[in-house]
Structure 1
């Protein structure tokens, strides 16, 4: 998704391109007992230049049903943001990640805001224990 600067003096180099990526859900084992045996999905939105505002929300689906949804995370004046959703691993299930974000471009750029979405491939997690 691209936004171009408009108005007098705008150059062809005044373009900001942003991309959202939902990574593959994966088994996540951490030493902290509260976070053991989780399925985690992460997503990032990255822009070629700093923007006015970024927000992102990530969802983890198990067998096509919503299993966990993150809160909305936002920042201002940056070019990157990331978020995750994690919940207890259930073996031999199919997991998919979804992400949705909103990019607010600096003043003078068109469009001023844009919603971005992405979906990971579905993966089956066969085991929920560290090998």
Structure 2
């Protein structure tokens, strides 16, 4: 797994969390711009998903096992879209809080993916 991409996804997730957290504190629901941000973060995660499967297809193996790595890849890919869909049903400040929480979850999943792959030893 590329460390740079994992870091980029983690940072993008934290930026999204801060942005939606700011909306929460300003008593605002998620807006169109937030959904564009969610789309950008999701696109990065989907690129990561594809690269992860390409690396697995080339015969590379994560340090902590393929099954757990694939499970975390799919969990990471689902975190922000799931929070986004939930925020659509909660058109109050709590929708923004939901997206912020989902983005923090994604950042934590990225740290775990980094560890599962090999923690910096896998380029």
User: Does TM, normalized by the shorter one, top 0.5?
Assistant: no
Higher helix share goes to which structure? 2
TM-score (norm 1): 0.29
Higher strand share goes to which structure? 1
TM-score (norm 2): 0.30
Computing the radius of gyration over CA atoms, which structure comes out larger, 1 or 2?
A: 1
